[in-house]
Chain A
């Protein structure tokens, strides 16, 4: 019963997570997690530097279509 009551909330949370991941809203958090796991000790980029760098990479190749 309690599980059923939580269902809408869990759905909303899943949609929110999907939206954040699909739009790139959580890209910086993912980068920090990756950095901490694989390159601990190396300096990480700031949020702003990361955002700028991500945009530059994204728009150097073909990422939009007719």
Chain B
């Protein structure tokens, strides 16, 4: 890989977007709707302590933000270029879309969850994610929008190539 430099701007935008998604869970959603707010983390929830911030978009904003932010962070770390952006964005679209569809057809993924996930932080929630998570068509739309926006922002924030550099892709 002829790596280019890490694109800090993209990473920063990605992290900022991730924090926006986090705010939805902290402010607009009851803490027991998310695994990561379980236990002691419940105390950091601001739900019902301050007014809801995101209104009707709070349902789909996290879906948008997830694809968007991880596409930017991944691309920023890899310092890749246009073709790479496309692959990165589609990769996260595929991952998020697959998990969402897993909630719709939960019986299938549930069969493949190994028992050793039990007790391992986050992994232990995999079954619950598919079992109790709610499939929403709007989330799929949000993923697609997040992908498109991510690609646009990546393109706009791409560091220009110096003379000796050549176009390279994420997988080259």
Mutual binders A and B:
no
Interface residues of B (CB under 8 A from A): none
